[in-house]
Structure 1
Amino acid sequence: MAQREDKKKHLLETALTLFSQSGFQGTSMDKVTKATGLSKATIYKYFSTKEILIAAVLNYSSAQSLTRLQAIIEDDALSLEEKIHQRFQQVRSAFGQDRFYGCHFQLAYREYRYNDLDIAESCEYYKTSTVDLIEQLYARHNVNQPRLKALQAEMIFNGLLTSLYHFPDENLIDMAEQMYLQTLT
């Protein structure tokens, strides 16, 4: 059973990398098969269509990202500003390791929002959950109008992810972090 779960995890992680690099529509199942070293039969045993694989990849990535964000939020040793800084450090880390391909949720939503409800809902769930967590963070730290300010902050964060994809300049991260901090006032 553990080997099956390891294969599935390897498939999800490899597919996420490929989808991030080449886009969802630009990544064929043959490319996924070659990169994972798994047979097509094995891949289709786990996921009967490419769209089901994409939704699973998004759900997997969402769970990981939300868990990381929740851990930052719940770290009582950090101030609010330090928690926000930690979030931007994650972007800096990905950007600095040449692993930054933009936000795969934005990419998937753009490519599939009218064509596949499960994929669109996976993207919407992630974005809504992120705003909810930031709202909780702001409420924990007694920020006025936490929902409104969480929405504003996430607009800045999502704008950063889009901007970095098109204009890969690390200075944008610092600018966005400062703008994000301004939502606290």
Structure 2
Amino acid sequence: MKVSKKTQKKTRIKLIETAVDLMIQNGYEKTSMRQIARTAKVGDATIYNYFPSKEKIVWAYILHRQECAVAKIAAIPNFETYGLQEQIHTYFETILEGYLPDREFLTVAFKITQQSFVTHSEDSAPINQVFITQIRHFLESAIQREEIPKQPIDSMLPHLILNVYMVIVMYWMKDNSTHFTKTTELMDLVLGILMGVLKQGLIQNCLDLGGFLFRHTLFSQVNSWLDGTIMSNVKTQFKKGL
């Protein structure tokens, strides 16, 4: 019997949620694929049609939270009228709110996935892509409404904001302040600095300066090489003349 995509999606989410609950209760190492399947009322073999391992479930959990956050901000009335800083701030907060019920598990998830995030493995790529696509959309909209000047949105900037987000998440996991006010203050501070940099066009200026210095250095090296080659030829011809 063929299972519909809608049913597959529900089963996938159920397996993710069940796995997270069991890992919080019993720990990652003591939770087995069979236990996850039986608790979710899925066949022992069927679970492998969705996930080949527990680690893949952890990755799927993070991706699911990212996708849920994107869907939630898309449903916010008049979200497109928000300023860039408010859009990014709301996006970050929405992701953290999604993690809140499983905050204890997030520490485990990050330990499992941290190295892959650093090396940009195939597991982290879909998650990063969801985030970067959303940030790029924010930046493009801000440029169109002339809130900020043109930015290198297709290169380093979205990845820079991704790194900022990762730092904020790690800080949030250890934040014991009431209503996570310290995390909110950190976001306000970091995003305020980022907006100042973007509005001044400093990132593009730095890239332009870097490009100029690179071209200047390359030009100087080529000239030095040519001068050396020419002088060598002159010396050779001079010796032949002697």
TM-score, normalization by structure 2:
0.54
What does 1:22-33 align with in structure 2 at a 5 Å threshold? 27-33=31-37
Which of residues 76, 79, 91 in structure 2 aligns to 1:75?
A: 79
Q: Give % identity.
A: 14
Cα separation, partners in 2 of 1:133 and 1:70, compared to 1, 3 Å:
farther
What does 1:121-160 align with in structure 2 at a 5 Å threshold? 121-141=125-145, 142-144=147-149, 146=151, 147=153, 150-160=158-168
In structure 2, the residue matched to 1:182 is 193
In structure 1, the residue matched to 2:103 is 100
Cα separation, partners in 2 of 1:133 and 1:111, compared to 1, 3 Å:
same
**Take 1:168 and 1:22, find their aligned partners in 2: how far apart are those partners?**
24
**Take 1:133 and 1:160, find their aligned partners in 2: how far apart are those partners?**
21
Cα separation, partners in 2 of 1:52 and 1:164, compared to 1, 3 Å:
closer
**Letter aligned with residue 12 of structure 1:** I
**Take 1:136 and 1:103, find their aligned partners in 2: how far apart are those partners?**
33
List per-residue Cα deviations over 1:13-62 (Å, max 9, x = no partner): 33356568888667532442354233322212333444554454444444
**Take 2:108 and 2:73, find their aligned partners in 1: how far apart are those partners?**
17
Q: 8 Å contact 2:142–2:148 — kept in the other structure?
A: yes
The alpha carbon displacement at 1:163 in A equals 0.9
Q: Which has the larger displacement, 70-79 or 124-133? A: 70-79
**Take 2:9 and 2:157, find their aligned partners in 1: how far apart are those partners?**
40
SS of structure 1 residue aligned to 2:139: helix
The alpha carbon displacement at 1:138 in A equals 3.6
Which of residues 176, 196, 210 in structure 2 aligns to 1:168?
A: 176
**Take 1:76 and 1:135, find their aligned partners in 2: how far apart are those partners?**
12
Cα separation, partners in 2 of 1:89 and 1:63, compared to 1, 3 Å:
closer
Q: How many residues align structurally? A: 184
Which of residues 10, 14, 17 in structure 2 aligns to 1:13?
A: 17
SS of structure 1 residue aligned to 2:45: helix
Q: Which has the larger radius of gyration?
A: 2
The alpha carbon displacement at 1:11 in A equals 1.5
List per-residue Cα deviations over 1:64-94 (Å, max 9, x = no partner): 3333455569723434444344335425645
Bigger relative CO (Cα 8 Å, ≥ 6 apart): 1
Q: Which structure 2 segments of 5+ residues have no match?
A: 197-242
Q: 8 Å contact 1:8–1:46 — kept in the other structure?
A: yes
Q: 8 Å contact 2:62–2:127 — kept in the other structure?
A: yes
The alpha carbon displacement at 1:164 in A equals 1.5
Cα separation, partners in 2 of 1:156 and 1:57, compared to 1, 3 Å:
closer
Q: Which structure 1 segments of 5+ residues have no match?
A: none
The alpha carbon displacement at 1:161 in A equals 0.5
Q: 8 Å contact 1:14–1:35 — kept in the other structure?
A: yes
Q: Which has the larger displacement, 38-47 or 72-81? A: 72-81
